[in-house]
Amino acid sequence: MTQGSLIVEKIGTGRVASASQNRLSVRESRLDADGKIADLCFSMKNRPAFPAIPAGGVTTVHAVTLLANLMVSTSFPVGKEIAHALEPGVLMLIRFVVAAALMGVYVYFRHGLAWPGWGALWRYAAIALAVTIFFWCMFESLRYTSALNTSALFTTVPVLSAIIAFFVAGERLGRYRFAALALGLVGALWIIFRGDPERLFALDVNKGDGIFLGGCVAFGLYGVLIKRFDRGEPTAIMTFWILMFSAVFYLIIAGKDLVASPWTTTGLEIYGWIVYLAVVSTVISFFMFQYATPRIGPTRVLAYSYFIPAFVLLIDWAIGRGLPPAMTLPGIAIVLIASLIIQRGAIETRQKR
């Protein structure tokens, strides 16, 4: 879920299930124990304690992670292309219904579908509400701002999640993650304001940037809720119910627009892109993150999320939108440096153990 990110939020809290279903606490590195915040990786459930590295070595795992983030990054330019075709609520209703149906099939054959109980349902509904707000803001904002701006703002989610986690749960950040998040924020601001201090001090932002920033706050809260409401259920089951409730919320939001929507005049390519977002940016990326997280650690998986603005820039260029102003490029470089800092921190702390 940018939708891949929704699903992998729960991948990486470091709990694993043994063959006897006894759960052990596993830390990939000290970074994962210091103020864990939800970005693109959280808890992975029902995985072996020591997953095998593929024949291609750790490079293959990194390549899979990079490809998964590329899939997530396509949500921004694709969203930009279809944002005006239908109302945001209607677009997201279709997307979440398709994603929930596919995830439901997987859960049925892998775990079996069972009534989770009223206590679990309200937890899933609370999480889904934050998700619903985020994705509605994302597609509404893309009517007014660029895919690059929204992807840059998305890198502020770790910072916002850390702030919320500090006040809600008293969590604190380690030095590497603090440095990386601070750099990532600087890079995002640089991209948004095109490296112009006058625009920054004047808060010269467009309507879309403001809408999506509100969505990022909701997604930061989502990460905190995932941690607080996690009761040890398999990741796929929790994801399925979150998708289901998100679809219900979008049905409520879009109900007034369903009859008036131009269903027959909307091109097949629009529906194709919506299905693409549900299948590729949601379901397939979920399994790729699930594969990579236990093998290289949630912190290093997280680091690749900072590549998203650069991916969006390349995608925009490839589809003929051209390159952004040259003053934007240093901001992208800063965001990539933030990713390298997280990678380095994860490696060094692992070596010290």
pLDDT in tens, 73-94: 999 999 999 999 999 999 999 9
| Predicted pLDDT of residue 246 | 94
Among 82, 149, 168, 171, residue whose Cα is nearest residue 313: 149
Task: Convert the pLDDT of each residue in 100-119 to its tens digit.
Answer: 999 999 999 999 989 899 99
pLDDT in tens, 173-231: 677 777 777 888 888 888 878 777 777 766 667 899 999 999 999 988 887 888 788 88
pLDDT on residue 25: 38
**Whole-number pLDDT of residue 181:** 78
pLDDT at 37: 35
**What average pLDDT does the segment 149-172 reach?**
81
Strand partners, 250: none
DSSP assignments along 166-224, one per residue: HHHH-----HHHHHHHHHHHHHHHHHHTTT-HHHHHTT---HHHHHHHHHHHHHHHHHH
% pLDDT > 70, the chain: 78
Is the pLDDT at 21 greater than 70? The verdict is no
Local confidence band at 344 (pLDDT 50, 70, 90 cut-offs): low
Beta bridge partners of 15: 25
Nearest CA-CA partner of 235 in 304, 169, 287, 297: 287
Distances (CA, A) of 281 to 2, 176, 337: 7, 29, 25
Q: How confident is the model at residue 298 (pLDDT cuts 50, 70, 90)?
A: low
